[in-house]
Amino acid sequence: MISALAQYWIDKLVAGSPVGKALTLSVEDAEVDAITLAMPISEDIETMPGVIHGGILATLIDAAGAAASASGVVEADNATGGATTHLSVAYFTPARTDLAATAEVVHRTRTTTTTEVVVKDTQGNTVARGQVTSRIFH
């Protein structure tokens, strides 16, 4: 079960951040070390009509990685925040529909996490994959 601190970080500092609000991110599923964020398509995030800008996909991957990293934080950790230290993205096909980014922490220490993220469209096609390394501050 996700701690109250982790839930706060996910809801307020990732999905509820100014960027999260601008992209209309929502948490679809949240467990320790596994998160799914949803993002609807809109004209505001398109690079050309009907195609989501690649930078927006990178931001979605970054946000999902941050949320997954936060999901394992507990009050006893005395964590004060976090930041992405490395982000890599591979694009496979144009993103043209609402998206879901599923992030899974594949390695966790007290101060860092490595998260694999898969972004799929509404037809279930993988449009991008990414890896996010996050630093947890204490």
Amino acid at 117: V
CA distance 48 to 43: 9
Per residue in 8-17, pLDDT (tens digit) is: 999 988 999 9
Which tokens hold the place of 16? 């509820």
Predicted pLDDT of residue 13:
86
Q: What is the pLDDT of residues 81-98, one digit of tens each?
A: 899 999 999 999 999 999
DSSP for the chain reads ---HHHHHIIIIIIITSHHHHHTT-EEEEEETTEEEEEE---GGGEEETTEE-HHHHHHHHHHHHHHHHHTT--GGG---EEEEEEEEEEE-S---S-EEEEEEEEEE-SSEEEEEEEEEETTS-EEEEEEEEEEEE-
Residue 43: pLDDT band with limits 50, 70, 90? confident
Write down the pTM of the prediction: 0.96
Higher pLDDT, 46 or 27: 27
Residue that the structure tokens 């596994």 belong to: 34
> Could you tell me the pLDDT band of residue 6, with boundaries at 50, 70 and 90?
very high
